[in-house]
Amino acid sequence: MKVKKTKLKGVLTIELDSFKDFRGEYVETYNEALYKKAGIKTKFIQDDISTSKKNVLRGIHGDAKTWKLISCLYGEFYLVVVNCDKKSKDFGKWQGFILSDKNRMQVLVPAKYGNAHLILSKTAIFHYKQSTYYNPKGQFTYLWNDPSLKIKWPIKNPILSKRDKTGYR
């Protein structure tokens, strides 16, 4: 496992080790002892999965308390992580990552950061571990195309939920 810093403070990428042979592939996606040894001490208490089809864009969502460990179980998506801490000098800064079942990369997203993802393959399975239980009332939402963020998405007309079109639930 290789852990690397990104240009966003507190956001890390994790490259997982895998074992491949004639039968297929084996990947350990989380081992608390190994993550702690690598300096990641976040305690995760909930796992979530979403399945989406090509051109679906979900997000930008987050909250002030939750850390997330994001990975792609199947397919490929473009993940965007945004600093949404209005007290931070880096508020509004973002970075994009390609996650897939081929590269097996994970992204650790701190609290006060939002994340969004766009499905690039025919279908994809988005997986994340959370450090808190889901609380919809505590979440923030930014529009995927908020002009102040200047995010460069590889799509002009994604498939969006009502929340992601309007910023409201």
Specify the CATH number for the domain of residue 84: 2.60.120.10
Q: Amino acid identity of 88?
A: S
pLDDT at 168: 64
The number of domains in the chain is: 1
Give catalytic residues, as residue numbers.
61, 128
Residuewise pLDDT in 10s, the chain (169 residues): 999 999 999 999 999 999 999 999 999 999 999 999 999 999 999 999 999 999 999 989 999 999 999 999 999 999 999 999 999 999 999 999 999 999 999 999 999 999 999 999 999 999 999 999 999 899 999 999 999 999 999 999 999 999 999 876 5
119: containing domain: 2-166
Contact 57, 116 (CB under 8 A): yes
Q: Are 102 and 27 in contact (CB under 8 A)?
A: no
Q: Rounded to 5, what percent of the chain is helix, strand, coil?
A: 10, 45, 45
Residue 23 CA to residue 113 CA, distance in Å, equals: 39
Positive or negative, the Cα torsion across 88, 60, 125, 96? Answer: negative
Side by side, which strands form the sheet with 12-15? 2-5, 12-15, 105-109, 68-74, 123-130, 46-53
- Whether the model pTM is above 0.75: yes
Residues 6+ apart with CB under 8 A from 144: 57, 59, 60, 116, 151, 153, 158, 160, 164
Q: Is the four-CA dihedral 102, 103, 109, 114 of positive or negative sign?
A: negative
The per-residue pLDDT for 167 is: 78
